[in-house]
Structure 1
Amino acid sequence: MNIFKTMALLCLLQGAATLHAQEKPADVPQQAAEKKYEAGFDGMLAVSYGSDTFGINVGGPSLKYRFSKNFKVGVGAFPSLIVLDKKAVPRLAVSPIIEYKHIMFITPYYGYDTNDKQIWTFGIGYKFI
């Protein structure tokens, strides 16, 4: 009989502890911590032009710092199709990014061409996601 009383007392204490743990003060508002850094893939499509080169860029991996809700600055990699010397060539570009709402300003760097000249373009894109 003593064991049953002990088990009943333990069950009551556990129930009271569970009720106490679930209570939340109604007066304290919960604030979500705003992330300043973002890393991920951009759902973006952009066009860029420069140095007699035209590029079509799509979103790739990026790392950005958020200054405000609508303004971010970062760097990213963009799989691209560039028209160089009247040929369409796939290249991976790296670029600084300035993002305001859904508009992205980019400066893709594609490496070197056949004449050992660096390929830079300037462009604008729209972020879908």
Structure 2
Amino acid sequence: MSRSSGRGQTEPLAAIVAVAAVGIGLSLYAGVLDATLPGERDRSTAPAALERVDRDVAPGGVARPERIPGSHNVGPDGYRTNVTLTAGGRRWSTGPTVPPDADVAGERIGVRVAPATVRPGRLRVAVWR
């Protein structure tokens, strides 16, 4: 039987290039389609803001109420942020009034209410545009 038996063959490099081109084309199509579809595109920003506020207000894991004023400024750019810390019947808050549609995240945290006195409390962060 001769080497040119009539069956079609493709060079391996050409096949790899063709498969890569199809893969890239599908990826671009999916990206454009996703960008044009309607729907909610805004991700939840409150958990990330809570993390940033926690690092600012509670270095070392214990929140310090004297660090609350101005802590709303560490929120994400382009968003309004309200920070509230509560412990032992007391409340510390900073930032604008929270609207009902705000994205809210909170966590339990130790709060230093006096020298050598730590009480259980709650740190709450609300974020909105």
Q: By percentage of residues, which structure has more helix?
A: 2
- What TM-score bracket applies, with the shorter chain setting the length? 0.3 to 0.5
